[in-house]
A and B are shown apart, each in its own frame.
Chain A
């Protein structure tokens, strides 16, 4: 596709359930990022992938959060035992990983997660 896609666009779940959020980056983009946008915290970095490895996971808020990337393409963010404070819009971005980091991140439309 032409841009970054994310699914589902909306997810409503009950507290304590696990959820999986999917990101399809732009084809050929090596770098992939997850961010979270919430009312109280604004836009926060969660994790960065270079290919299939994640050299920076510093933004993951707790061990209930995990992410993987396979085939250097699709990424899945998993939240286990969801809590109400996990309610937010989860944004994925990808970039071509140019030398020196002088590249632009292209964002998907996000997944709105609501935990009841």
Chain B
């Protein structure tokens, strides 16, 4: 069965520091992979997605993620965090095929210290 694990429930970083949020997935083939961000009281906004091709994916707001098949991982990174990045981040896997039923991880809540 498909599953997504985000090992870190909470992460706190200082503004300007680098960030890496971990995501591991379980899927029988190469999945479609997504990172979404949710700010308080808001819906989910797509940061980036991986379908095929280059394993390093660039997204919005300066985020990037790297698909590593050998590690079943799709970690999210940002070289320098801004206070406005404080939010909850969700990794998700979608089934290949005609539609994308997303399976989400539990989320990582990011706090940013000034």
A residues contacting B by CB (< 8 A) are: 4, 31, 33, 35, 42-45, 48, 50, 56, 59, 91, 93, 95, 97, 100-110
How many angstroms between the C-alpha atoms of A50 and B94 in the bound complex? 16
How many angstroms between the C-alpha atoms of A31 and B101 in the bound complex? 11
Q: Which 3 A-B pairs have the closest CB atoms?
A: A43-B104, A107-B43, A107-B44
Interface contacts beyond A97-B99, A103-B100: sample of 17 additional A-B pairs, CB < 8 Å, sorted by A: A33-B101, A35-B102, A43-B90, A43-B107, A45-B101, A45-B102, A45-B103, A50-B98, A59-B101, A91-B43, A101-B32, A101-B96, A101-B98, A104-B49, A105-B102, A109-B41, A109-B42
Nearest opposing residue in chain A for B105, CB measure: A42
B51 at the interface (CB under 8 A from A): yes
How many angstroms between the C-alpha atoms of A56 and B101 in the bound complex? 9
Nearest opposing residue in chain B for A49, CB measure: B99
Residues B82-110 near A (CB distance < 8 A): 90, 92, 94-107
Write out the residue numbers on chain A whose beta carbons fall within 8 Å of the beta carbon of B32. 101-102
B11 at the interface (CB under 8 A from A): no
Q: Given the known inter-chain contacts A100-B98, A101-B96, please indicate yes or no for A42 contacting B104, CB distance below 8 A.
A: yes
Write out the residue numbers on chain B whose beta carbons fall within 8 Å of the beta carbon of A105. 46, 100, 102
Write out the residue numbers on chain B whose beta carbons fall within 8 Å of the beta carbon of A106. 46
The answer to whether B43 touches A110 (Cβ under 8 A) is yes
How many angstroms between the C-alpha atoms of A105 and B90 in the bound complex? 14
Q: Given the known inter-chain contacts A91-B43, A107-B43, A109-B42, please indicate yes or no for A100 contacting B104, CB distance below 8 A.
A: no
Pick the residue among A45, A56, A108 that contacts B43 (CB under 8 A).
A108
Q: Given the known inter-chain contacts A42-B106, A42-B107, A104-B49, please indicate yes or no for A31 contacting B43, CB distance below 8 A.
A: no
The answer to whether A48 touches B99 (Cβ under 8 A) is yes
Pick the residue among A35, A56, A101 that contacts B94 (CB under 8 A).
A101
Interface string of B42-76 (1 = CB under 8 A from A): 11111001010000000000000000000000000
